Structure 1
Amino acid sequence: MEEKLPRSLKNLDLNTNREPKDKILVSAYLSSLLTGISPLNSKPPSLVSLCLGVIGKHLDEMIPCLADIAAIFPADIKMSLAAIARRRKLLDDDVIISLADSSWEILDVSGSDLTNSGLAKVAEMCKSLRAVDISRCNKITSLGVSELLQHCRSLETLRCGGCPSSESTIRRSLGLFKPNLSNVEGETWEELDTSEIGHGGQSLRWLVWPRIDKDSLEMLSSECPRIVVNPKPSLVSYRTDEVPQEALPDVALDGPFVKDIDPKTWVVTEVEQKPSSFPLSNELPIAEKFRLAYAERDARLAPKRAKNARQHQRRAERDWMMSSDKAKAMVLASKASRSLHKS
């Protein structure tokens, strides 16, 4: 896609007769096209963001002692680390429980290895959650959703789906959103308490389920009219300013907590796996490195394998001689033969 030249650069060229400041401006713009970072309208990262980037790159090494380290971090730093862990595919029960803070109002565990146990524990710790994203979590079932709704009474936005397992989970959880009208005889609607007719999801208003099936959508529309499914700001049925950012599918819940952190923090492992466009002449492909390492290990272990084979053969011969009558007879005959020759 062609980049639009900023207005300040439209009248500039690379002529050697230009002023030095114009050359610097053009060079800075060309550099921004290569790096993706514009020096014209971006500010340098803060010291906190730089530190989080360094911690994020080594987060896998810190996981064993993360619970002790995270205890001294404020809530927003814990959220940033959780966002980095999710992007690095390191987020699981132990990591999120170590980082969870009671003041959190959002929780984004999409695409992680979180289970029902981990989600229930975090929901119990973070009762003020307003928005939760459990999309593409194939280890979370309707039991985990039930625990979430029971503990987080202020939950307004739930994001789900994205994979077959998550689609099945939210489909089985729809009954949790329905009002329970079995024990409200003799009451009027004005006198009913929401805690009496809800299963725990009475505060839920926004459901982000991009691939919702027709039957589920019809059920929610008829039995849970308070829940808006896949809200879009362009709809005219409600004012656009009523839809929170957390309910828009294209907005990552934890995005604001990593917006100033270098994306290389969580894509460094992927970049290393990709072949370089300009490989160095003395750099071996990763497959060749593995082959050489295997060949070296095989040559180093060859004498040990030969020794083990000889021991196994002697052990097999000994076992055969101890268990076979014919072998015992041959041994006795050999001993008798040697005795006769000595005499």
Structure 2
Amino acid sequence: MAIRNSEEKLPISLKNLDLNTNRAPKNKILVSAYLSSSRMSALKTGPPSLVSLCLGVVGRHLEELIPCLPDISVVFPADIKMSIVAIAKRRKLLDDDLIVSLADSSWEILDISGSDVSDSGLAKVAEMCKSLRAVDISRCNKITSMGVSELVQHCRSLETLRCGGCPSSESTARRSLSIFKPNLSIIEGETWEELDATEIGQGAQSMRWLVWPRIDKDSLEMLSMECPRIVVNPKPSFLTYSLHEVPREALPDVALDEPFVKDIDPETWVGRGVVQNLTSSPLTLTSNELPIAEKFRLAFAERDARLAPKRAKNARQHQRRAERDWMMSSDKAKAMVLASKATRSLYKS
């Protein structure tokens, strides 16, 4: 009976289970397990932490704080800096100055996807954060292969790179393929198998995962032939690859900086009228925002009030034009109009 009463809370996949068939015991176990896990999740969900609330306030007033960040961010822990970067990225405020002012040498991930960070900012961050393991530069219009080269040169521990997502980033990814290839022309020796990874003069020798969803066929073939150690667009699986198990950072459906903002309510840092979600899911309205129908009504009323004087002026112009046309149409009408004007002038005098 308890399962039946809770049926409306089940997902569609469990609602379709038939509890009256031979498989009813197994189906009931699945439903009970789901309800138990849901209750446990509800119990674990509590009020937001004081740190999350403070970060929300900082995010809401981030425009005002940006000029002061180079001076005050030196006392921030590394994870707090990363949270501010994640909020700035979602508020479309992330650029070279902001990312450089918050960069921390202990960072292991860097998510600047869809931001205004350029080659210069990426190079400075890579020089400061040499321990980066995963970097997301997808949808960055201002980053070229020069920035990728600086990243690979400074970050010798780089394992995962995300790219593509827009025409500019797709072009950057194609132009960066030569950077990923090892260059053995300057190495002396009889066989490259005997070389240590540190002896390879160039190339992203530590990179293992490349997330490039729209990679073209030629680029994929080139990477598979000349960079077999790099796995392109790995799929989540219980199986393992020859080198490592697929890390979380190499899964395209998971944002790199999600752990740093998952406990922060978007409503605490978005401004009024701004619609934004932390996980880039379908947009939702904030609680303080007016309904869309009321917005349209207010916009129409404002426009109508603004154009009312113009409509009255146009009406007067049409009336004068009609009177002029009628007056010029015949001598009798012209005489009547002149007589009327003369009468009005006599009364005034």
| Structure 2 counterpart SS, 1:285 | helix
1:21-60 matched pairs, under 5 angstroms: 41-60=44-63
1:5 aligns with 2:19: no
Change (3 A) 1:218 1:103: same
1:191 aligns with 2:194: yes
Instruction: Give me the TM-score of the superposition, normalised by structure 1.
Output: 0.69
Change (3 A) 1:61 1:286: farther
Q: Distance in 2 between matches of 1:199 and 1:287?
A: 65
Q: Distance in 2 between matches of 1:240 and 1:194?
A: 15
1:203 aligns with 2:218: no
Equivalent pair of 1:132/1:159 in contact (CA under 8 Å): yes
Q: Distance in 2 between matches of 1:254 and 1:127?
A: 18
* Structure 1 residues 148-196: Cα deviation after superposition (integer angstroms, max 9, x where no partner): 0000000000000000000000100000011112133433334313233
1:17-96 matched pairs, under 5 angstroms: 41-96=44-99
Unaligned ranges ≥5, structure 2: 1-6, 12-40, 276-284, 310-349
| Structure 2 counterpart SS, 1:207 | strand
Match of 1:276 among 281, 288, 291: 291
Change (3 A) 1:265 1:168: farther
1:284 Cα offset (Å): 3.4
Deviates more, 1:268-277 or 1:141-150: 268-277
Unaligned ranges ≥5, structure 1: 8-37, 296-343
* Structure 1 residues 104-152: Cα deviation after superposition (integer angstroms, max 9, x where no partner): 0000000000000000000000000000000000000000000000000
Q: State the match for 1:162 in structure 2.
A: 165
Equivalent pair of 1:87/1:266 in contact (CA under 8 Å): no
Q: Distance in 1 between matches of 2:43 and 2:242?
A: 36
Change (3 A) 1:156 1:56: same
Change (3 A) 1:52 1:197: same
1:238 Cα offset (Å): 2.3
1:289 Cα offset (Å): 7.9
| Structure 2 counterpart SS, 1:44 | coil
Moved over 6 A (4+): none
Cα RMSD after superposing both structures: 3.1
1:68 Cα offset (Å): 1.1
* Structure 1 residues 246-274: Cα deviation after superposition (integer angstroms, max 9, x where no partner): 00001100000001000224554235898
1:105 aligns with 2:100: no
Q: State the match for 1:18 in structure 2.
A: none
Q: State the match for 2:30 in structure 1.
A: none
Q: Percent identity?
A: 73
1:144-163 matched pairs, under 5 angstroms: 144-163=147-166
Instruction: Give me the TM-score of the superposition, normalised by structure 2.
Output: 0.68
Match of 1:262 among 253, 261, 265: 265
